[in-house]
């Protein structure tokens, strides 16, 4: 058990001591693009549509009316 590695990858359960290492891992291993990330909760999305859906659902961003 290693308490220093607190950043866990959601996709494969690997753990990292730094957030940069986790993000690096996710980008390289899982092909995640950090361009699409939610600024509110730091979630990463593989495409803009996923992020937009997340924003609307989780943070109730409104579409243009
Ligand atoms: Zn992973
Ligand atoms: Zn979010």
Domain boundaries, the chain: 7-58
Q: Is 63 helix (H, G, I), strand (E, B) or coil?
A: coil
Which ligand neighbours the alpha carbon of 8 most closely? 1
Q: Is the Cβ–Cβ distance between 63 and 56 less than 8 Å?
A: yes
First to last CA, the chain: 51
Using a pLDDT cut of 90, give the percent of the chain over it.
26
**Tens digit of pLDDT for each residue in 10-29?**
889 999 999 989 988 988 88
**Ligand 2 midpoint to CA 48 (Å):** 13
- What is the CATH number that goes with domain 7-58? 3.30.160
**Ligand 2 midpoint to CA 60 (Å):** 10
Which ligand neighbours the alpha carbon of 37 most closely? 2
The structure's pTM equals 0.46
**Ligand 2 midpoint to CA 44 (Å):** 9
Q: Is the Cβ–Cβ distance between 44 and 54 less than 8 Å?
A: no
Q: Is 29 helix (H, G, I), strand (E, B) or coil?
A: helix
Q: Distance between CA 11 and CA 2 in Å, rounded?
A: 19
């Amino acid at each position: 058990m290693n308490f220093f590695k607190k950043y866990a990858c959601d996709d494969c359960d690997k753990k990292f001591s730094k957030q940069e290492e986790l993000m690096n891992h996710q980008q390289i291993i899982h092909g995640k693009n950090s361009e699409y990330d939610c600024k509110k909760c730091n979630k990463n999305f593989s495409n803009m549509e996923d992020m937009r859906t997340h924003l609307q659902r989780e943070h109730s961003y409104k579409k243009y009316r």
